Chain A
């Protein structure tokens, strides 16, 4: 298995532009998570899907952020419009939803908004 695949690895965009981050979870995993990592705030859980359904999006910072999971093998995190304070590393992770499985993280997308 290739693991959790995220794209792009790096994204530099201008303030106000739309940014779309992509994630392909491990085949068979039915839970998917989006995290954001910054020095100031650490690893923050943004949203959690189970069987493609959003279960908890309370971590999504504001309406500029949205996430979708149209099928079991693909998810997107969109920021529109982007702001400099959105600069961070965004990780996607997947796991089995059964109790007690660890997460497998992707390599992350480093987003810089200038």
Chain B
């Protein structure tokens, strides 16, 4: 399967600070998805990016796909305690688009 690295592995922020996690691949990706997993929970689908340079927003979350389609980022503005969890990127094998391999994840802790 695909090898996908996420950085950082862990991040602690004060509530109200911004947070960014990065997903990097050595190969060109057809698309990328982002998931959030709360402590003790299961991954929940957030969004999918398909186009080179694509930027999508969900309230305080901004997702970006790199121009070369080899990397992606998730940025959270003004973090809240409800943002706590692990954020995973997931990338598809080849061009079929439906068999996804998950990155190593970034665990976010928000300090009130």
Contact = CB atoms under 8 A, between A and B. Distances in A.
Contact of A100 (B41, B46, B48): B48
Please tell me the size bucket of the interface on B.
Answer: 20 to 34
Interface of A: 31, 33, 35, 42-43, 45, 48, 50, 55-56, 58-59, 91, 93, 95, 97-108
Interface in B27-73: 31, 33, 35, 41-48, 50
Interface in B71-112: 88, 90, 96-105
A59 B42 contact: no
B72 to A, nearest CB: 15
Given A100-B31, A104-B45, A106-B42, A59 B102 contact: no
Given A43-B88, A102-B48, A55 B42 contact: no
A33 B35 CA distance: 15
Nearest to B95: A99
A59 B1 contact: yes
